[in-house]
Amino acid sequence: DYYWNEILQLANEYPDQRSLSVDFTDIEKFDRELSKEFLDHPEELIMAAEVALKEIDLPVEKSLEEAHVRVIRIPNRIPIRELRSKHLARFIAIEGMIRKATEVRPRITKAAFECLRCGYITFVDQNSFRFEEPFAGCEGESCGKKGPFKIRIEESTFIDAQKLQIQESPENLKGGSQPQSLEVDSEDDLTGNVTPGDRVIINGILKSRQRTLKDGKSTFYDLVLEANSIEQLDKDYDELEITTEDEEEILELSRDPEIYGKIVSSVAPSIYGYEDIKEALALQLFSGVVKNLPDGSRIRGDIHIMLVGDPGIAKSQLLRYVVKLSPRGVFTSGRSASASGLTAAAVKDDLNDGRWTIEGGALVMADMGIAAVDEMDKMKTEDKSALHEAMEQQTISIAKAGIIATLKSRCALLGAANPKYGRFDRYEGLAEQINMPPALLSRFDLIFVLLDTPDHTLDTKIANHILQSHYAGELFEQREKLPGSHITEDFVEAEMEMIEPVIQPEIMRKYVAYARKNVFPVMEEDARVYLINFYTDLRKTGESKNTPVPVTARQLEALVRLSEASARIRLSNTVTLEDAKTKFLSATIMSPGLTF
């Protein structure tokens, strides 16, 4: 009654189309009891619905024998880390990112065994994990022999199967905790539709599978989600909830004439100095505008930044802070242990008895966000070569063992690297010192070289700042943890002031998400002219000396992105001359061959 048109359409397209999609809210409207029953006993109810579909009287000469009923928009959304045994056999929705996907391969569902003595064919349903043979022997009349049998492939039934692994998305992780993941079984027309990096909601029935030990079965079970339907999510910042009050606060902040400075100073206030870097990091958070041109090409808006320098000067701390402020930040180290590393890999995996699996690495999981990669100098060679593509085209291609796949990695890269000899040598090229090819370095919009040179005034200031943060931290901890402490809240607050961000991280994340989603600035004429002149003037300096050019068009594009990001900080849809005159005009011009 409710889905008659959809059923007719399905009947028309069947068997190319094999699924009827049913909105859970419709079941709720139709019968509340039934909808509750459905969540608790999904298996029987889906089966009943599929039987009904099979038996329905259609105006066309077709039977929807193998059609599926797929239920979407399930309210029962459960974070992966909160899955418990009470959820077993229930219908649940899991939201996250696809981390791994195996190849799509046939799975036998009904095996045809031909008896070699009498020729009779016995069918055995294959519902479990293990391949079942005819236990009771041949079903042929007066045969009943226990074989031998020969399997008849053309008589058997197969279904396409694919295993997936879904992982919590970066924006749902609190305080840099490790993301958890869940295995998913998908079949038939659900297979082959998602790739690692995709954001999805998978609705299905939670099943358990007994672990096997070397000497028998274990009492522990692993969880597997049997997918009933997969909903693709928009890769937007929708997951980060921005309430109307938040929006008001964001708009209010944006009207502050000092907003630019406030945003910049709210990046890592506990780190002293580095105003330029903090400004660059703020611009990276807001990002330039992605452009899709009519010829089908796409220009990235993400700003890639590299911090190179002596050890112990807060590079890693800055990276961690940016991840905290980014609506979608992923932190990894260049020498990460996983097979997929930074980019992606095709591996023979334990997910499914040696089937080839594509696994997305950090840059895939950070799609539409920021990937902070520490210790980039220790990166694997494969990652290094894949990074060229990942940074400019923002895709990662895999061609291995017959698998050809392209994953998306539309993220900004924030790298940190230590120089090879521990300390930075100003008389040697940057590229050699951090063990990275110049072609890769040139893809960074900004490269900062941080040198740790002793300087009494500066050292005193840094030391004071560090001691102050520790002091304020000590006060805070003592007040919290020691019941009899005499320290007052006001006192702690006063001492904290210096390292307190003007804009709190929670609202800053929302501000960034809001800007990236709602602000698309266009550059004004005078700003454009300014950048063109700046660029051509710089190129001229190379012309006269007949030396390799100090800047390339890449740096010009970098300037455009930085200017756009600058306008976005004000939530302004216009890039003004002021935005274009960013102070990085000289910092961007660090070409990789240069010595310092």
- Rule CB under 5 A: say whether 191 interacts with Mg ion: no
Nearest distance in Å: CB 372, Mg ion: 11
Contact pick of 39, 259, 466, 556 for ligand ADP (by CB under 6 A): 466
Residue 292, both tokens: 């899709």
Restricting to residues 435-464, which ones interact with ligand ADP according to CB under 6 A?
Answer: 462
For residues 196 and 235, give the distance between their C-alpha atoms in angstroms, rounded to a whole number.
13
Contact pick of 14, 24, 113, 272 for ligand ADP (by CB under 6 A): 272
Restricting to residues 289-348, which ones interact with ligand ADP according to CB under 6 A?
Answer: 311-317
Q: Answer with the entry of ligand ADP, Mg ion, none that 286 interacts with (C-beta below 5 to 8 A by kind).
A: none
What are the beta bridge partners of residue 593?
none
Segment interacting with ligand ADP, rule: CB under 6 A, options 234-242, 249-257, 267-275, 581-589:
267-275
Nearest distance in Å: CB 235, ligand ADP: 31
Burial class (CB in 10 A: 0-12, 13-18, 19+), 90: middle
Nearest distance in Å: CB 314, Mg ion: 8
- Rule CB under 6 A: say whether 417 interacts with ligand ADP: no
Q: Answer with the entry of Mg ion, ligand ADP, none that 145 interacts with (C-beta below 5 to 8 A by kind).
A: none
For residues 42 and 92, give the distance between their C-alpha atoms in angstroms, rounded to a whole number.
10
Among 107, 229, 235, 71, which Cα is nearest to 169's?
A: 235
Residue 272, both tokens: 């002293």
Tell me how many residues contact Mg ion (CB under 5 A). 1
- Rule CB under 6 A: say whether 271 interacts with ligand ADP: yes
Among 73, 76, 36, 53, which Cα is nearest to 2's?
A: 53
- DSSP, residue by residue, 500-520: S-SS-HHHHHHHHHHHHHH--
Nearer to ligand ADP, 237 or 272 (CB): 272
Cis peptide before 15 (omega within 30 of 0): yes
The count of other CB atoms within 10 Å of the CB of residue 487 is: 16
Nearer to ligand ADP, 372 or 440 (CB): 372
C-alpha distances (whole Å) from 428 to each of 55, 420, 595 are 78, 11, 6
- Rule CB under 5 A: say whether 316 interacts with Mg ion: yes
Nearer to ligand ADP, 93 or 306 (CB): 306
Nearer to ligand ADP, 161 or 371 (CB): 371
Nearest distance in Å: CB 271, Mg ion: 13
Reduced to 3 states (helix: H, G, I; strand: E, B; else coil), residue 396 is strand
For residues 508 and 580, give the distance between their C-alpha atoms in angstroms, rounded to a whole number.
23
Nearest distance in Å: CB 34, ligand ADP: 57
According to DSSP, residue 342 is labeled S
Are 97 and 167 within 8 A, CB to CB? Answer: yes
What is the end-to-end Cα distance of the chain in Å, rounded?
76
Nearest distance in Å: CB 414, Mg ion: 13
Nearer to ligand ADP, 138 or 323 (CB): 323
- Rule CB under 6 A: say whether 422 interacts with ligand ADP: no
Q: Which residue has the tokens 């096997």?
A: 212
Segment interacting with Mg ion, rule: CB under 5 A, options 258-266, 315-323, 400-408, 504-512:
315-323
Tell me how many residues contact ligand ADP (CB under 6 A). 13
Segment interacting with ligand ADP, rule: CB under 6 A, options 119-127, 265-273, 382-390, 405-413:
265-273
Q: Which residue has the tokens 């672990």?
A: 211
Nearest distance in Å: CB 315, Mg ion: 5
Nearer to ligand ADP, 134 or 473 (CB): 473
Among 298, 234, 231, 288, which Cα is nearest to 19's?
A: 231
Among 155, 135, 137, 157, which Cα is nearest to 145's?
A: 137
Nearer to ligand ADP, 124 or 271 (CB): 271
Among 469, 446, 462, which Cα is nearest to 312's?
A: 462
Cis peptide before 454 (omega within 30 of 0): no
Q: Which residue is nearest to Mg ion (CB)?
A: 316
Phi-psi region for residue 368, left (φ > 0), alpha (ψ -120 to 50) or beta? left
- Rule CB under 6 A: say whether 498 interacts with ligand ADP: no
Nearer to ligand ADP, 431 or 466 (CB): 466
Nearest distance in Å: CB 322, Mg ion: 14
Q: Which residues bind Mg ion (CB under 5 A)?
A: 316
Q: Which residues bind ligand ADP (CB under 6 A)?
A: 271-273, 311-317, 462, 465-466
